[in-house]
Amino acid sequence: MTKKINFYFTLFCLVLFTEFVSAQKFNDFNFFREINEVSASSYYKIKLDNEILGKSNYEFNDFRIFRVDENDTIETPYLLNWDKAEYEYIKQYESIIDKSYKANNTSYYTIKIKERREINEINLEVSESNFDKTLKLEGSDDNKNWKTIKENIRIVGFQQNDFKYTKINFNVSSFPYYRVSINDQHSNKINIEQAYTAYNRNVVRKPNYIKDTYIVRKEIKKTEKPKPTESFVAEAYTQIKVTLPYKASINSLSLSCREKNLDFYRQIAIYDKKGKELYYGNFTNLCENGINNYEFAETNLSELLIKIFNKDNEALPGIDIKVNGSEAYLLGKLEPEEKYLLAYSGRKNIAQGNYDLHYFSDKMERTSKAIDLKSEQVIKHEKPKKKESIISDQKWLWITLIGLVLLLGAFAFSLMKKVNR
């Protein structure tokens, strides 16, 4: 009799615990979206839009896919991936077959392509360190008749900073001959030692441009007479604080000066909220269309800091900033005639899902199909009443357990009375 009661007591406690844990699965999250039904058993790609990403935690580990039915809620394994830009860059050194010079006027360099192919970039290797030139690029099929591809291209070199910008970007062309005409009317001629061509093609580009960023700009002056109570500033710089409307995974940003005719060359540093340096390089008007693109490792953040070091120069006028991230998606295997939910926006200390799927990520990517989510639903959490203990909040559970303990105690007491007779 005693063994039988102990069995039922243990079973009852196990059922209560299971129900409690099942409810807690959803209590760990704030939102969910139902996943559309699938017609076949396969791997599926679930896109996470900016609204979902913005509600995730800093590590993006608070996503869970649940398969739900009338009896149970089962966690479904998944992988979190990012759509990143992929590039194809084919570089090849070419032959300079002709160099000519018209005194105090123009230098000509004719470049022959080894194999006729599509290109959209030519890089010139210039001997001199200091120069500032404008040039014209032409293409030809027979090295006789020339067609203008692009004009007023600027190349420069600054010996002081060991910097050269000698890249020519243009629309994709496939001429066997290219001619570079350099204007020498107002400066000394330069010597181009070598040239290489490239086909810079964006294979996949899915930029996740972050809109509605909040920008605060501040000019930091150089400390002339430092005081013990002030922080020493060795060099004047422009500080730009960029706050995103939500946390996102950032991999690049672009800067440009609104004053297009202003020549400038400055050093720039980009930091995250904690002061970790993400990028250090140059900010100049010499880039294509004056737009400087800075790429760095994928970083989860909601705020970043940009410093433009001005030295003894005036601070630059209006600066346009675009912050770019990558689109995220989940990969998981879904079955037909099953109901799935995506839960997200979890607690800060929620455990990271640890699945075997990362061993099969290539297969999942190749065979995955896109699937959509339904509208967002809020997971309602009962707020604990003020001045009430945890015991009173879970009163029903404790009453049941105490009742069972008393029942077992009464049964044990009755057995003891029988033994004493």
Whole-number pLDDT of residue 10: 43
* 87-204 CATH: 2.60.120.260
* 207-327 CATH: 2.60.120.260
Q: pLDDT 10s per residue in the chain (421 long)?
A: 554 444 444 444 434 433 443 445 667 788 889 999 999 999 999 998 877 887 887 678 889 999 888 777 888 899 988 876 666 788 899 999 999 998 788 999 999 999 888 999 999 999 998 999 999 999 999 999 999 999 999 999 887 777 888 999 999 999 999 999 999 988 889 999 999 999 887 665 556 778 888 999 999 887 766 666 667 677 889 999 999 988 777 888 999 999 988 888 889 999 998 899 999 988 988 888 888 989 888 787 889 999 999 988 899 999 999 998 777 899 999 999 899 999 888 766 676 667 777 777 788 888 889 999 998 888 877 665 555 554 455 666 677 777 777 777 776 667 666 655 5
Whole-number pLDDT of residue 206: 57
Identify whether the C-beta of residue 242 lies closer than 8 Å to the C-beta of residue 323. Answer: yes
Ranges of beta strands (E only) in 221-368 are 237-257, 265-272, 277-284, 292-309, 319-334, 339-346
Instruction: Locate the domains of the chain by residue range.
Output: 23-82+331-378, 87-204, 207-327, 390-420
Same fold across 87-204 and 207-327: yes
For residue 171, CA distances in Å to 134, 148, 149, 330 come to 18, 12, 8, 36
Whole-number pLDDT of residue 362: 81
Dihedral of the CA atoms 20, 23, 29, 32 (nearest 10)? 170
